[in-house]
Amino acid sequence: MRRWFVRVGLALLAALVLLIGYGVLVEPRLILDDEREEVQLPRLSAEAAGLEVALLADMQIGMWWANTGMVERAVERVVDAEPDLVLLGGDFVYHADPDVEPEVEAALDLLGPLLDSGIPTYAVLGNHDYASNAAEELTAALEGAGVPVLLNESVPVPGTGTDPLHVVGVGPSRPGLADVDQALSGLPEDAPRVVLMHNPTAFPEMPPGSAPLTVAGHTHCGQIALPGLPRWSYLGLTEEEQVVADGWSPPEYGAEGNALFVTCGIGFSVLPMRINAPPQVVFFDLQSPDAG
């Protein structure tokens, strides 16, 4: 009986070592999920039907053993796809030291192919960008490279028709910068729009019908998750915010007429490991209710 327990213990230890090895070396560094979604967007004109929007989030540059190789792959994937619009969902850096300039420079270097492509790109910042005291430097660097950084404001996207698509950027819920009313205040009521936020916890604050397509990051899809049980992910067990961890949120999470998609992002938080939550690039094919 003792020998049997020893064998079982050794088998479990070997399985754990293999799982950790997979989570550290395989899934986050070799597997890139390419998610594609078709969305019928209210108010989008027929002439703008077929617009493709790409979403990247959570690079987390500065995290120990950062996932920079996967960031390069994800940026390359987006540039090769030649979408009409790219949205960057925040947490560009993850840093604890006073000097954030090296991480800001590294983030801009990794985004270089996208910045050089000429594809219209818009960004919001995330909680780590503010916690690292990098918000000012990141905003200056991104806007200097032609990427508007939206903080509770909206902008029209050039080249998206006579009734242009607008991007609404909501500030991060942490550190308390989300202001939905301000974000919507300058938006024409009948304008087609995509809402970009970092923390999905701001989504339920959106008034009915104001956010027919909202995209967010922050959760890393749990980062270490049991299949089908997001509340039992590493994130779900440690996060103070309500977790909407992976893909489309439940219909009851938010007001009527609104929809939220949460990307798994690219990088890490706390641990350089992903299990059942691979890095992800998301493409949205926007269709008009008036098309056809």
pLDDT digits (tens, 9 = 90+) for 164-211: 999 999 999 888 899 999 999 999 989 999 999 999 889 999 999 999
Mean pLDDT for 47-67 is: 93
Q: Assign 242 a pLDDT band (cuts: 50, 70, 90).
A: low
Mean pLDDT for 68-77 is: 97
**Residues 29-39: pLDDT tens digits?**
999 999 999 99
- Assess if residue 135 is contained within a domain: yes
**Residues 112-162: pLDDT tens digits?**
999 999 999 999 999 999 999 999 999 999 999 999 999 999 999 998 888
Q: Assign 243 a pLDDT band (cuts: 50, 70, 90).
A: low
- Assess if residue 21 is contained within a domain: no
> For position 154, what pLDDT does the model report?
97
195, containing H or E segment: strand 193-197
Beta bridge partners of 248: 261
- Assess if residue 217 is contained within a domain: yes
> For position 131, what pLDDT does the model report?
92
Q: What is the DSSP string of 73-137?
A: HHHHHHHHH--SEEEE-S--B---SS--HHHHHHHHHHTHHHHHHT--EEE---HHHHHTT-HHH
- Interatomic CA distance for residues 152 and 169, integer angstroms: 5
- Assess if residue 18 is contained within a domain: no
Structurally, how many domains does the chain consist of? 1
Task: Give yes or no for residue 6 having a pLDDT over 80.
Answer: no
User: Distance of CA 26 to CAs 61, 166, 276, Å?
Assistant: 19, 38, 11
**For position 273, which CATH number holds?**
3.60.21
- Assess if residue 73 is contained within a domain: yes
Per the structure, the complete domain to which residue 60 belongs is given by 31-287
Enter the tokens of residue 102.
């090296």
